[in-house]
Structures are given as structure tokens and as C-alpha cells.
């Protein structure tokens, strides 16, 4: 059987089980293209699979993501008699340390927002008001990039100050309440947009580029890279990726936790609320975002010190 046909069959099988299977499906299609669309599944040798897994040679978590995607794919192929064994490496390297997100300081966030007009020119596809509003929404509401860009007019209720995020990760939809300042920001952008790009249909995109069509993820990432370079915001901790748009979501979660500590709030009680607001299926997923920064560590240490002193006094 041709590799491309089996990949199509397997992806359809996984989707029929209720999973979107988008990212893993992309891995398998990439595997099929690399080896050849007409490649017979039985002729694939371990050497070419290892080469696909190695990629550019750096060992990252992506190696393991590709490996376990192929492992499940070949289990499917073996159980249905298309192959007798999986041509995968027998030794799986140790999983590298988890990627550490970049947490923007509030001063860096101000620099990014202040520079949205300075770094944009008429030739650029994203206009300054759109860029500034997207950045504020990603940070102010902790949205995923795709969630923000997929918003339509019908999903933004400025009267009630609430967003409807539809079928995001894990096929989940949720309501996202907005604070007064963020709600005003979106209201101001909506007014500007209706003049600059008067689209009124409910399915029209909320965020539009200079031509009036939906802002693409690639265009926004390229624009943000230019903005980041303009403001000289770079990693100095040896991290493998420069500050990203998705790090605004991490920064939102960490800054919210710091604010709760400063207010003396019951952080453990509030964590489930933060998890729901971010659209996570459990608190464990939220913990990935709560990267320890010096400021966060200081607040946590101060809270523990007050607790310890109280215990000593009570004794």
C-alpha cells in the first residue's frame, strides 16, 4: 500500500474517534512527502526513518513528538497487516529539558505597545491599530494566538464585555470576560475598524489586515519579529527561541499570579479559576504557564515566610 494512502486512512481513523488530529496529521503528511508520495509502506527502512526524526540534527522535544506519532501510526499499520514491524529506532534518547517561555516585564510590554506605530509602514500588511489591539488582547486576556485571530464580529460582545472563543484547543468553547480597560480597547478598535474596513456580516473577521481580510498567523509573527527587533527585546538566558507572541499568554498567567500574591489572595483557591479562564482541561496544564521568575519566587517566598512565622507563634 502507498504510504500517502495509508496516512490519509489513518488520519481519517483518528478523526473519526473524535480527535482533531491536526498537528500529528501534519507530521505524518510531512513524513509521506519526505519519503515520497508513491513510496510503498513495506519498503521503508529504519535509516530513512531515523533521518526524518533527526531533522536538522538538534535533539528537541519535536524528535519525541515525531517518534511517538510514527509509533502509533505503525501500530495501526501492523495490526491491519500492512507491515510486519515498525522501522523505528530501538533506542529512544532522553527527553530534553522542557522549553522555558519568556516572561515579558511590564516595561517591555510598554515598549512593544509604544512602538507599534513606529515600526509599521504603509507597505506592511498589518496596520498599527490592529497590531496594538491584538497584542493587548493576547496579554490582557491570555488568549492563544489562533483564538484571537479566529474571532469574528459575532464572537465579540462589547456591550457585555465578553468574548466567545469557539472550538479552540481540545474542541472546547468558552466565554472570556473582559476587564474595563481591555473592553474599551476593543471598543475603540471596533470603531476604527468600522470606518477603515466597514465589514458588517456576523462572520466577518474582527481583526483585519490592510486589505480587509483576516489577519494570518504568519503575517502577525513576521510583524512581531520586526517589532521585537525594533524594541531590542531579546533573550539573554541562552534559550533556544527568542521572545514569542505566545509568551504573552505565559506572561499574563505569571503576572496574574504575582498580583494575587501581592493582594494577599488565596492563590490555591483561585488557580482553578485561572485554569478555566485560560481554557485548560485541568490545573496541570496551567502549571506549564506558571514559570518561576525572580518576582514570582520572591512573592511565593514571602507568603511562605509569613505562614511559617504564624505557625511558630501559634505553637
Q: How far apart are CA 13 and CA 300, in angstroms?
A: 47
List 193, 228, 255, 280, catalytic entry: 280
Which of 144, 197, 225, 303 is flagged as catalytic?
144
Q: Is 172 one of the catalytic residues?
A: no
Indicate which residue of 64, 111, 246, 303 is catalytic.
246
184 in active site: no
Point out the catalytic residue in the list 169, 225, 230, 244: 169
169 has catalytic annotation = yes
Four-residue CA torsion sign, 170, 202, 205, 286: negative
Q: Is 289 one of the catalytic residues?
A: yes
* 281 phi, psi to nearest 5 deg: -85, -15
How far is residue 293's CA from residue 250's CA, in Å, rounded to a whole number?
11
Q: Which among 249, 250, 255, 256 is annotated as catalytic?
A: 249
Q: Rg of the chain's alpha carbons, rounded to an integer?
A: 23
Catalytic positions: 144, 169, 246, 249, 280, 289
Amino acid at each position: 500500500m502507498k504510504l500517502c494512502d495509508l496516512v490519509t486512512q489513518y488520519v481519517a481513523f483518528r478523526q473519526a474517534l473524535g480527535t482533531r488530529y491536526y498537528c500529528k496529521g501534519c507530521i505524518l503528511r510531512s513524513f509521506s512527502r519526505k519519503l515520497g508520495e508513491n513510496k510503498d509502506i513495506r519498503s521503508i527502512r529504519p535509516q530513512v526513518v531515523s533521518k526524518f526524526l533527526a531533522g536538522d540534527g538538534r535533539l528537541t522535544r519535536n524528535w519525541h513528538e515525531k517518534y511517538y506519532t510514527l509509533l502509533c501510526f505503525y501500530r495501526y499499520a501492523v495490526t491491519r497487516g500492512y507491515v510486519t514491524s515498525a522501522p523505528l529506532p530501538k533506542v529512544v534518547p532522553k527527553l530534553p529539558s522542557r522549553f522555558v517561555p519568556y516572561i515579558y516585564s511590564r516595561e517591555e510590554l510598554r515598549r512593544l505597545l509604544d512602538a507599534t506605530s513606529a515600526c509599521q509602514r504603509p507597505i506592511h500588511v498589518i496596520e498599527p491599530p490592529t497590531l496594538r489591539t491584538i497584542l493587548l488582547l493576547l496579554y490582557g486576556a491570555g488568549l492563544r494566538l489562533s483564538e484571537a485571530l479566529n474571532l469574528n464580529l459575532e464572537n465579540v460582545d462589547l456591550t457585555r464585555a465578553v468574548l466567545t472563543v469557539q472550538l479552540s484547543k481540545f474542541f472546547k468553547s468558552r466565554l472570556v470576560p473582559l476587564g474595563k480597560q481591555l473592553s474599551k480597547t476593543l471598543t475603540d478598535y471596533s470603531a476604527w475598524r468600522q470606518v477603515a474596513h466597514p465589514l458588517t456580516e456576523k462572520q466577518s473577521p474582527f481583526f483585519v489586515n490592510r486589505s480587509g481580510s483576516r489577519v494570518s498567523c504568519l503575517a502577525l509573527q513576521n510583524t512581531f519579529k520586526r517589532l521585537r527587533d525594533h524594541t531590542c527585546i531579546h533573550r539573554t538566558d541562552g534559550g533556544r527561541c527568542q521572545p514569542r507572541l505566545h509568551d504573552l499568554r505565559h506572561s499574563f498567567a505569571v503576572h496574574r499570579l504575582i498580583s494575587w500574591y501581592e493582594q494577599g489572595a488565596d492563590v490555591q483557591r483561585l488557580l482553578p479559576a485561572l485554569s478555566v479562564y485560560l481554557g485548560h482541561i485541568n490545573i496541570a496544564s496551567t502549571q506549564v504557564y506558571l514559570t518561576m521568575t525572580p518576582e514570582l519566587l520572591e512573592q511565593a517566598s514571602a507568603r511562605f515566610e509569613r505562614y511559617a512565622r504564624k505557625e511558630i507563634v501559634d505553637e
